[in-house]
Amino acid sequence: MPDARMAADVHNKGVFWEVKNGNLAPSDRLRQDRSDSPTPGLVEGTEPGAGQEGAMFVHAQSFEDLTAVSESNTDDNSAEVGDSNLESAQEAALEGGEEESLEAEQEEVGKEEVQSRKKAKEEDVTSETWRSHRKHVFVLSEAGKPIYTRYGTEEALSSIMGVMMLLMSIVEDKKNIIRSIHADGYRVVFLRKSPLILVGVFQTNCSDRELTRELQYIYYQIVSLLTLTQLNHVFQHRQSYDLRRLLAGSEHLTDNLLRLLDRDPGLLLSAVMCLPLASSARDMVSSSLQAAKAKNLVFSILLAGNRLVTLVRKKDQFLHHMDLHLLFNLVGSSSSFRAGEGWTPICLPKFNPAGFFHAHISYLEPASDLCLILVSTDREDFFNLSDCKKRFLERLRRRNAYQSLQEALNMPSYPVSQVGIPELRHFVYKSKSSGLYTSPDLPAPYQGEEELERLMGLYQQLHSCLHNPTRLLRYIYRCADTENLYALVTSGFELYLCFSPLGTKSLAVSAVNKLLKWIRKEEDRLFILSPLTY
Amino acid sequence: MTAMRVDAKVVMLGKESVGKTSLVERYVHRRFLVGPYQNTIGAAFVAKALNVSDKVVTLGIWDTAGSERYEAMSRIYYRGARAAIVCYDLTDSSSFKRARFWVKELQNCEEHCKIYLCGTKSDLIEADRSVRQVDYHDVQDFAEEIGAQHFETSSKTGKNVDEVFQKVADDFSSCALEFMQEEKGVDLEQKKDSYFDNCCHN
Ligand SMILES: Nc1nc2c(ncn2[C@@H]2O[C@H](COP(=O)(O)OP(=O)(O)OP(=O)(O)O)[C@@H](O)[C@H]2O)c(=O)[nH]1
Ligand SMILES: [Mg+2]
């Protein structure tokens, strides 16, 4: 009976890989000429943290839906902004929006305190608390059936869903697509991804692009559970299908993803953070994982919480950071994989939305945070992969690498004071060519959930300014009551710095070079410089 | 398929949240986890060795997710299973309907798989008889009709949990023995391992 759906399986198609290679392999860059003295003018591939043998990830910018959202080539153009233009560009940013944005933040913080921490599905959708949530997300079918709401129950929301449908249909009549509505401190953003419609209602002043990106994550989260093939299939069959039947039990994955979007800079930057680890130890782990291969194995990924320890991939196959974040989310939001060895179909939608991979997911030890994900194309591969895991563990133990791994895991990442820049509280540095980022431990003022989200909100606004396709900026300096921020983007990296209010602009500017030097010095601990393939 | 020496494949089936994972947790780890319910994703595999008279039998237990989303994949989990523990929640009559669905599916696709019907959360019934929604005798009749065993268990108290899995292992080894005696010429002592391997991955 289930064979129609099984057809979505990705295994056993000979041509499949070849087609993919053509699309997914990033263009060859000159990665050999790595610069010794890093400057903001570094080209991609030579910045600190750039991999030596090519990227592990596909570049976000090369993907349809990020370009579809009116993204012109921000990166390339911004590199051309000459130094003389910088001052004026930056003043413009300072004039526009700074004051108001800060006020809005204060307000948000106030409201956050009112809402309860845990999701209350039962909450009354006519209540003030329901309305005051900072970020609502709704998913509905094209027939207007509710599929997901972040707060409250879907049933209680059918009238709101009706209004959304109406709005969309009115505008679409005129052969236009409604993208967003701005009113009264709210932004309503629409994303149509047939057969689904996603709507976000945000109290924020981030750009629509940022908000659309969040909706895309939610969309791909759903596709990763079902595949696009199956999604299309059920709605072709019956337009009024209630998709919640198939998504039952997955709501907490979406809830958790929305939380990650508010807290994890990786999702903002399209990048992944590594567990800091001595390069000798990491190499040992990577090569052990490389040796534990199997015929249909495509990716072997070792995670430590939300940080990547290593990733080994089949030659010529690249993982998209978004797919990796979806895997992080899957593992991070469920204790299910602690119950035994997990074996589950999973679609990696940026790799191929049409088919399922099969993932063997297990923790290295019952109480450990180290989680191994082995992704295969063959749904019969469970025992083969289980054997791979065993071989990997044996090898690790034989070389005593397990111990150093466990020790690295128990240590905090690194305090920002190690960098030695006065007044610097926190930073996020992304190497564009490797798709990896690094960030110190959160300092005391940002350790609470709300404060963390506020800081991430500030970074998000800077990100939004730097990537505004109509007003290209290379850097932004922004003063606020509680911190001063400096953000910088070049063709090789993106950097966000957070200083105490005592920091000055000249301090910030001079900090960049110092920080880059420090990162260069530490790069083999903080990044994966030589990713392996089977 | 030789990574783990598993004698008999056992699959847990049933509607979501009936308590399949809790049953396995109780049996394998002797614990009952309280806290928010975490639905299984795909399936989880654990191997557990137990004694049957003087032999050791290793059960390879597949704890499947009850969500309809995985229904299409369920065959990969139950194919070749020697035993299926089909669970339903004693306090939820719709879960018994779902159990009947699984029984039919097994009868159609896995005729050599023995079925064990397992009514879960019996502690809730003991605390308050009025919450029972599935009648003991109805299930007993159904079990006889399909040639299945029938248990009522509580993972919270541990009641009857070991008994289910012990019965599965006992039935497996006595059936294996019977089978071997029929096929004369199989040397029980020497070929035991290879026989069991064939037997569970056919
Ligand atoms: N009182 C009581 N509660 C139980 C018992 N067994 C399970 N539960 C509860 O029922 C809920 C679901 O249990 P699970 O074992 O996760 O259910 P499942 O069948 O594995 O669900 P899926 O993985 O979604 O298919 C949990 O909240 C358990 O605490 C039991 O014997 N007694
Ligand atoms: Mg379960």
Report the pLDDT averaged over residues A467-489.
Answer: 88
- CB contact, 8 Å: A200 with chain B? no
Rounded to the nearest angstrom, the minimum Cα separation between A417 and chain B is: 39
Report the pLDDT averaged over residues A475-495.
Answer: 91
Candidate of B15, B125, B126, B155 to mutate for ligand 1, largest count of ligand atoms within 8 Å of Cβ: B155
What is d(CA A505, CA A526) in angstroms, rounded to the nearest whole number? 27
Q: Do A359 and A373 contact (CB within 8 A), yes or no?
A: yes
Q: How many CA atoms lie within 13 A of A18 on its CB side?
A: 4
Which of B44, B68, B74 has its CB closest to that of A342?
A: B44
Which of A339, A341, A345 has its CB closest to that of B25?
A: A339
pLDDT digits (tens, 9 = 90+) for A412-428: 889 999 999 999 999 99
Q: Which residues pair with A497 in a beta bridge?
A: A427, A486
Ligand nearest to the CA of B87: 1
Please give the pLDDT value at position A3.
41
Mean pLDDT score of chain A: 78
Q: Which is nearest to A93 in space by CA: A455, A471, A454?
A: A471
Predicted confidence band of residue A1 (pLDDT cuts 50, 70, 90):
very low
Instruction: Provide the 8-state DSSP code for A482.
Output: S
Q: Do B196 and B176 contact (CB within 8 A), yes or no?
A: yes
Instruction: Report the separation in Å between the CA atom of B120 and the middle of ligand 1, taken as the mean of its atom positions.
Output: 8
**What are the chain A neighbours of B69 within 8 Å (beta carbons)?**
225-226, 246-250
Predicted confidence band of residue A94 (pLDDT cuts 50, 70, 90):
very low
SS3 content of chain A, % helix, strand, coil (to 5): 45, 20, 35
Q: Which residue of B has its CA nearest to A389?
A: B3
What string of H, E and C letters represents the secondary structure of A417-433? HHHCCCCEEEEEEEECC
Ligand nearest to the CA of B19: 1
Q: Which is nearest to A92 in space by CA: A455, A504, A470, A456?
A: A470
| Radius of gyration of chain B, Cα coordinates, nearest whole angstrom | 17
Q: How many helices and strands in chain B, by DSSP H and E?
A: 7, 6
Q: Give, to the nearest 10 degrees, the angle between helix A382-398 and helix A401-410.
A: 90
**What are the chain B neighbours of A342 within 8 Å (beta carbons)?**
41-45
**What are the chain A neighbours of B2 within 8 Å (beta carbons)?**
383, 387
Interface with A, mutate which of B20, B26, B69 (most A CBs under 10 A)? B69
Which of A2, A344, A390 has its CB closest to that of B42?
A: A344
Predicted confidence band of residue A368 (pLDDT cuts 50, 70, 90):
confident
**What are the chain B neighbours of A345 within 8 Å (beta carbons)?**
42, 70, 73
SS3 A500: coil
C-beta B17 within 6 A of ligand 1: yes
Report the pLDDT averaged over residues A454-479.
Answer: 88
Contact residues for B122 (Cβ-Cβ < 8 A; gap 6+): B90, B152, B153, B154, B157, B159, B160
Report the pLDDT averaged over residues A171-189.
Answer: 71
Report the pLDDT averaged over residues A222-250.
Answer: 92
What is d(CA A244, CA B143) in angstroms, rounded to the nearest whole number? 32
Please give the pLDDT value at position B178.
62
> Looking at A263-277, A446-460, B175-189, which range is the least confident one?
B175-189
Q: Which atom of ligand 1 is nearest to the CA of B120?
A: 31
Residue indicated by tokens 């052990």: A288
pLDDT digits (tens, 9 = 90+) for A299-331: 999 999 889 999 999 988 889 999 999 999 999
Report the pLDDT averaged over residues B1-25.
Answer: 86
Q: Which is nearest to B92 in space by CA: B173, B16, B27?
A: B16
C-beta B32 within 6 A of ligand 1: no
Ligand nearest to the CA of B99: 1
C-beta B74 within 6 A of ligand 1: no
Q: Give, to the nearest 10 degrees, the angle between helix A449-466 and helix A251-263.
A: 70
Residue nearest (by alpha carbon) to ligand 1 atom 30: B121
Q: Do B89 and B19 contact (CB within 8 A), yes or no?
A: yes
> Looking at A152-166, A395-409, A483-497, B102-116, which range is the least confident one?
A152-166
**Interchain pair A248, B71: CB under 8 A:** no
pLDDT digits (tens, 9 = 90+) for A15-49: 222 223 222 323 333 233 333 444 545 666 788 88
What percent of chain A clears pLDDT 70, i.e. is strictly above it? 74
Using CB atoms within 10 A of its CB, is residue B192 exposed (0-12), middle (13-18) or buried (19+)? middle
Please give the pLDDT value at position A2.
40
**Interchain pair B43, A343: CB under 8 A:** yes
Ligand nearest to the CA of B36: 1
Q: Which residue of A has its CA nearest to B105?
A: A1
Instruction: Report the separation in Å between the CA atom of B77 and the middle of ligand 1, taken as the mean of its atom positions.
Output: 20
What is d(CA A485, CA A503) in angstroms, rounded to the nearest whole number? 9
What's phi and psi for A504, nearest 5 deg?
A: -120, 170
Residue indicated by tokens 């669905």: B101
Mean pLDDT score of chain B: 86
pLDDT digits (tens, 9 = 90+) for A287-300: 999 999 999 999 99
Number of Cβ pairs closer than 8 Å across A and B? Answer: 92
Residue nearest (by alpha carbon) to ligand 1 atom 26: B37
Q: Which residue of A has its CA nearest to B6?
A: A383
Cis before A195 (ω within 30): yes
Please give the pLDDT value at position A335.
85
Please give the pLDDT value at position A161.
72
C-beta B60 within 6 A of ligand 1: no
